[in-house]
Amino acid sequence: MFLTRIYLNPHRRGAKQLMRSRQVLHAAVMNCFPPGVLDIPGNPRVLWRLDYPPSLRSGLPRQGSPSCALFISSPVPPDPSHIVEEAGYATEGGVVVRDMSPFLDGLSAEQRWGFRLCVNPTFRTAAQVNERGQKKILAHVTQAQQIQWVLKNAKERGFRVLTSAEIGGDLPVLENDNGERVDGANLLINGVERSIAEFKRDGHRVTLAVATFEGVMEVTDPVALRHALVNGIGRGKAYGCGLMTLARP
């Protein structure tokens, strides 16, 4: 598996076009691969995620370029030259491609990592059915619902979100509903971006509730976590959802 980071220059017209449409960006990502190289049975799918820098999310000043980072996870290295030419930086550091196989093979239980995850949290409801009589898929729209979706899916994906008390340091003063002190019981997960993406696909309108989270986790099942990292989490994977990346907390 390979993880590619491409810095996009948001002041370039090509970058603005890519960031405006998840469909356009999906096509640009898939065009990084020659015909046939992704058709090998059993290979993981291509995942991608667009991260905005804090200065663009919050309006706060930031040193250096306000570049957006496009991450691509793929079973073979991509050729993003067309993206760089139209929307990126043709300089050293503008594109970084890393073989993630040694890192994935080195995952083990009880390791702790900082994580970033963009997802499309959804659920099925029997109260509504589609034209085929199946339970309709609806989106979680509040941040509390979306966080609970991540926590619910974490165990199956081989990790758990840690609390402040498990990390140590200065703990926040907290009380439970009974007024009892539970300092450090807060979970280390934070929503950093939320948006609604709408576009047409095959004549139908598609709406995605997209949420990005950062936090600190502990590995509980390395095999399940490796599968989640290379295959993605949740729905909307073609449109920039499902990719989780890890770094030192």
Q: How many CB atoms lie within 10 A of CB 94?
A: 17
CATH of the domain at 137: 3.30.70.1210
Mean pLDDT for the stretch of residues 212-225: 98
The residue among 226, 233, 4 whose CA lies nearest residue 111 is 226
Q: Does some domain include residue 107? A: no
Confidence band (pLDDT; 50, 70, 90) for 64? low
Q: Does some domain include residue 34? A: yes
- State the chain's mean pLDDT as an integer: 90
Kindly state whether residues 124 and 234 are assigned to the same domain.
Answer: yes
pLDDT the model gives residue 61: 47
- Does residue 6 register a pLDDT over 90? yes
The residue among 220, 216, 211 whose CA lies nearest residue 241 is 211
Q: Does some domain include residue 9? A: yes
Helices and strands per DSSP (H, E), number in the chain: 8, 11
Over the stretch 37-63, which tens digit does the pLDDT of each residue have?
Answer: 999 888 899 999 999 876 544 444 455
Q: Which of 99, 121, 140 is the last residue of a domain?
A: 99
Q: Does some domain include residue 106? A: no
Instruction: Give the domain extent around 72.
Output: 2-99
Q: Does some domain include residue 154? A: yes
What is the tally of structural domains in the chain? 2
In whole angstroms, give the CA distance from residue 82 to residue 80.
6
Confidence band (pLDDT; 50, 70, 90) for 231? very high
In whole angstroms, give the CA distance from residue 58 to residue 41.
43
31-64 as b/e: b if 16+ CB within 10 A: ebbeeeeeeeeeeeebbbbbbbbeeeeeeeeeee
Kindly state whether residues 60 and 163 are assigned to the same domain.
Answer: no
Q: Does some domain include residue 105? A: no
pLDDT the model gives residue 139: 87
pLDDT the model gives residue 82: 97
Over the stretch 118-155, which tens digit does the pLDDT of each residue have?
Answer: 999 998 876 666 666 667 788 898 999 999 999 999 99
Kindly state whether residues 128 and 231 are assigned to the same domain.
Answer: yes
pLDDT the model gives residue 162: 97
Percent of the chain beyond pLDDT 90? 68
